[in-house]
A and B are shown apart, each in its own frame.
Chain A
Amino acid sequence: MNEIKDNVTTQVPPLGGQGVADMIINIGPQHPATHGVLHLVITLNGETIKKVEPHLGYIHRSIEKMCESLSYRQFIYVTSRMDYLSAHINNHACALCVEKGLQIEVPERAQVIRVLMDELTRIASHELWWGAMAMDLGAFTPFFHAFRERENINDIMEETCGARLTMNYIVPGGVMQDIHPNFQQRVKSFIAVYKSKVDEYYEMLTGNTIFINRMKGVGVISKEDAISFGMTGPAARGSAVTCDVRKYYPYEIYNKLQFDEITETGCDSLARYLVRLREINESVKIIEQLIDTIPEGEFQAKTKAVLKLPKGEFYQKVETARGELGVYIVSEGGTTPYRIKFRSPGFSNLSALDHMARGSKIGDLVAMMGTLDLVIPDIDR
Chain B
Amino acid sequence: MNTEELKIKVTELLPNVILEEGTEWLTFNIEPAQLKAVATALRSNDALQFDFLFCITCIDWKTHLTMVYHFNSTIFRHNVVVKAKLDVAKPEIETLCDIWRTAEFHEREVYEMFGVNFSNHPDLRLLILPDGWEGKNPMRKDFEDAVNMIRL
Which of chain B's residues has its CB closest to A231's CB?
B102
A216 in the interface, Cβ–Cβ < 8 Å? no
Interface centre among A339, A350, A380 (most CB of B within 10 A): A339
A90 in the interface, Cβ–Cβ < 8 Å? no
Which of chain B's residues has its CB closest to A336's CB?
B152
In the complex, per-residue mask of B50-85: 1 if CB is within 8 Å of any chain A CB, else 0: 011111010110000000101000100100000000
Which of chain A's residues has its CB closest to B123's CB?
A53
A295 in the interface, Cβ–Cβ < 8 Å? no
A66 in the interface, Cβ–Cβ < 8 Å? yes
Interface of chain A: mostly helix, strand, loop or mixed: mixed
In the complex, per-residue mask of A212-256: 1 if CB is within 8 Å of any chain B CB, else 0: 000000000000010111101000000001110000110000000
User: Are A314 and B24 neighbours in the complex by a CB distance under 8 Å?
Assistant: yes
Which chain A residues in 65-97 approach chain B with CB under 8 Å?
A: 65-66, 69-71
Which chain A residues in 36-68 approach chain B with CB under 8 Å?
A: 55-57, 60, 62, 64-66
B15 in the interface, Cβ–Cβ < 8 Å? no
User: Are A351 and B104 neighbours in the complex by a CB distance under 8 Å?
Assistant: yes
A56-B127, A227-B51, A312-B23 known; A62 and B105 CB under 8 Å? no
In the complex, per-residue mask of A327-357: 1 if CB is within 8 Å of any chain B CB, else 0: 0101000000011010100011011100100
User: Are A57 and B130 neighbours in the complex by a CB distance under 8 Å?
Assistant: yes
Which residues in B have their C-beta under 8 angstroms from that of A352? 101
User: Are A64 and B139 neighbours in the complex by a CB distance under 8 Å?
Assistant: yes
A351 to B127, CA, bound (A): 11
Which of chain B's residues has its CB closest to A67's CB?
B150
Q: How far is the CB of A358 from chain B (nearest CB, A)?
A: 13
A149 to B138, CA, bound (A): 42
Which residues in A have their C-beta under 8 angstroms from that of B109? 347
A70 to B152, CA, bound (A): 7
| Cross-interface CB contact of A65 among B23, B24, B53, B139, cutoff 8 Å | B139
Which chain B residues in 119-133 approach chain A with CB under 8 Å?
A: 127-130
**How many residues of chain B have a CB within 8 Å of chain A?**
34
User: Are A69 and B152 neighbours in the complex by a CB distance under 8 Å?
Assistant: yes
Which residues in A have their C-beta under 8 angstroms from that of B70? 315, 326, 328, 343
A230-B54, A380-B128 known; A242 and B150 CB under 8 Å? no
User: Are B24 and A355 neighbours in the complex by a CB distance under 8 Å?
Assistant: no
A119 in the interface, Cβ–Cβ < 8 Å? no
User: Are B101 and A341 neighbours in the complex by a CB distance under 8 Å?
Assistant: no
Which residues in B have their C-beta under 8 angstroms from that of A158? none
Which residues in B have their C-beta under 8 angstroms from that of A229? 101-102
Q: How far is the CB of A201 from chain B (nearest CB, A)?
A: 30
User: Are B25 and A227 neighbours in the complex by a CB distance under 8 Å?
Assistant: no
A99 in the interface, Cβ–Cβ < 8 Å? no
A228 to B52, CA, bound (A): 6
User: Are A60 and B74 neighbours in the complex by a CB distance under 8 Å?
Assistant: no
User: Are A57 and B51 neighbours in the complex by a CB distance under 8 Å?
Assistant: no
Which residues in A have their C-beta under 8 angstroms from that of B24? 100, 314-315
Q: How far is the CB of B39 from chain A (nearest CB, A)?
A: 13
Which residues in B have their C-beta under 8 angstroms from that of A100? 24
Q: How far is the CB of A318 from chain B (nearest CB, A)?
A: 13
A62 to B60, CA, bound (A): 16
User: Are B25 and A312 neighbours in the complex by a CB distance under 8 Å?
Assistant: no
17 contacts between A and B (CB under 8 A): A55-B127, A56-B128, A57-B129, A60-B129, A66-B150, A69-B150, A228-B100, A229-B101, A230-B106, A313-B23, A330-B59, A343-B57, A347-B105, A348-B54, A348-B105, A350-B105, A380-B128
Residue numbers of A with Cβ under 8 A of B are 55-57, 60, 62, 64-66, 69-71, 100, 225, 227-230, 232, 241-243, 248-249, 312-315, 317, 324, 326, 328, 330, 338-339, 341, 343, 347-348, 350-352, 355, 380
Known A230-B52, A230-B101; further 20 A-B contacts with Cβ < 8 A: A65-B138, A70-B150, A227-B52, A227-B74, A228-B100, A230-B54, A230-B100, A313-B27, A315-B24, A315-B55, A315-B70, A326-B54, A328-B55, A339-B59, A343-B55, A347-B105, A347-B109, A348-B105, A355-B101, A380-B128
The 3 closest A-B pairs by CB, nearest first: A230-B102, A57-B128, A351-B105
